[in-house]
Amino acid sequence: MRPFKYQSAATVKDAVGAVSKSEGSKFIAGGTNLVDLMKEDVERPAALIDVSRIDLKQVRSEGDSVVIGAMAKNTDTANHPLVRMNFPLLSQAIFAGASAQIRNMATNGGNLMQRTRCVYFYDTSMPCNKRERGSGCGAKEGLNRMHAIFGWSDECVAVHPSDMCVALAALDAVVKVEGPEGKTRDVPFSAFHRLPGDDPTRDNELKNGELITSITIPKNKFAGNSYYLKVRDRASYAFALVSVAAALELDGEKIKDVRIALGGVAHKPWRARKAEDYLRGKAPKTEEFEKAAKLELADARALEHNAFKVPLAERAIVRALRQASQ
């Protein structure tokens, strides 16, 4: 690991000020992603500003929404009564990720900002446009079993690894960020992460020095009919091959509203809007779920080793919707 200066920030202002002032500075929260990447020499910050002690750890109700603090731990968020009651989908998604130890350390802000697990990104002896712009993409022609089937570009075919973010995408969360001079802005979840396009070095729309302060989730009527399904190489403690966050609002024999988001398939949590549009007003029946899933996957573009993800995602959508409808 390369040497760095360390400083603990007490307030958002201190943290934002410290990072926006010096080029190579980075925030550190739980450290579960950043410390790992620093050991691998992928991240090389000159200074770390510790934001984990900033008082943004609450989960609270605010009008028609629940606001979760950026520094709250994943474990505390998933177990909070407000989250378990209103958004069991989010609790499930968080519990599906990593291990108990890691969830105890990981913060909500850090979870949104975690970087891809693409092995070429991690291996500094390999080309990777995300790590070093213009060096090439090792995965595109290399081993790409774990990679994207939606929204990739020739520059990068990586996927976003978070489970929590898949649920937040389905729940139409809003990310609150604060930048220099106390400027705040609200970023809708679907506009927070980005597709790689011609600059995969940028995972999301956060600007340098901006700190995520909280995530707002509007209350909804999905709590009784939602399910987070994660398909992986082993039963626990593995990143998703494909995951599905499914939520239904039923009105008698009809689907009044529906949300479907996929993980493990794109550079950002993938909202299955085609499937959603098809299902609104239909009956919550397996045949309809199958039609919707097929429609969504029609646009998928597989790479050399991940063609299996297309039928897998299709079936996973159907299974998650069936589970949610029960």
Partner 1 sequence: MTDHFEDLHEAEELTADEEKLLDELGLEGESRRRFLGQVGAAGFSVFAMQLIAERQALAAGEVPIEPAAERLPLENSVKVAFNVNGEKRSVTVDSRTTLLDTLRERLDLTGSKKGCDHGQCGACTVIADGRRVLSCLTLAVTCEGKDVTTIEGLAKGETLHPMQDAFVKYDAFQCGYCTPGQICSAVALLDEAKRGEASYVTETTGNRSAKLSDDDIRERMSGNICRCGAYPNILKAIKEVHRGEETAATWNFAKPGLLKKEVGDETV
Give the whole-angstrom CA distance, residue 167 versus residue 219: 14
Least Cβ distance, residue 98 to ligand FAD (angstroms): 4
Report which secondary-structure segment, H or E, holds 137.
none
Characterize 155-185 residue by residue with b for buried, 16 or more Cβ atoms within 10 angstroms of its Cβ, and e for exposed. Answer: bbbbbbbbbbbbbbbbbbbbbbbbbeeeeee
Q: What is the helix (H) or strand (E) element at residue 48, kind and residue range?
A: strand 47-50
Residue 29 in contact with ligand FAD, rule: CB under 6 A: yes
For ligand SF4, the closer CB: 193 or 259:
193
Is residue 292 packed enough to be buried (19+ CB in 10 Å), middle (13-18) or exposed (0-12)? buried
Instruction: Give whichever of 138 and 209 is closer to ligand SF4, judged by the CB atom.
Output: 138
Q: Residue 26's binding partner, choosing from partner 1, ligand FAD, ligand SF4, none, with beta-carbon cut-off 5 to 8 A by kind?
A: ligand FAD
- Going from the C-alpha of 277 to that of each of 148, 252, 294, the distances in angstroms are 23, 19, 13
Measured from the CB atom, the residue of 97 and 209 that comes closer to partner 1 is 97
- For ligand SF4, which is the closer residue by CB, 25 or 116? 116
Choose from ligand FAD, partner 1, ligand SF4, none: what does 4 bind? Cβ within 5-8 Å by kind: partner 1
Binds ligand FAD by CB under 6 A, chosen from 162, 225, 226, 325: 162
- Reduced to 3 states (helix: H, G, I; strand: E, B; else coil), residue 170 is helix
Q: How far is the CB of 36 from ligand FAD (least distance, A)?
A: 6
Contact partners, residue 30, CB within 8 Å, separation at least 6: 52, 73, 105, 106, 107, 110
Q: Which of residues 5-34 bind partner 1 (CB under 8 A)?
A: 5-6, 8, 28, 31-32
Is residue 57 close enough to count as binding partner 1 by CB under 8 A?
Answer: no
Cα 321 to Cα 314: distance, rounded to the nearest angstrom: 11
Binding site for partner 1 (CB under 8 A): 1, 3-6, 8, 28, 31-32, 35-36, 39, 48, 50, 52, 75, 78-79, 84-85, 88, 91-92, 95-96, 98-102, 104-105, 230, 235-237
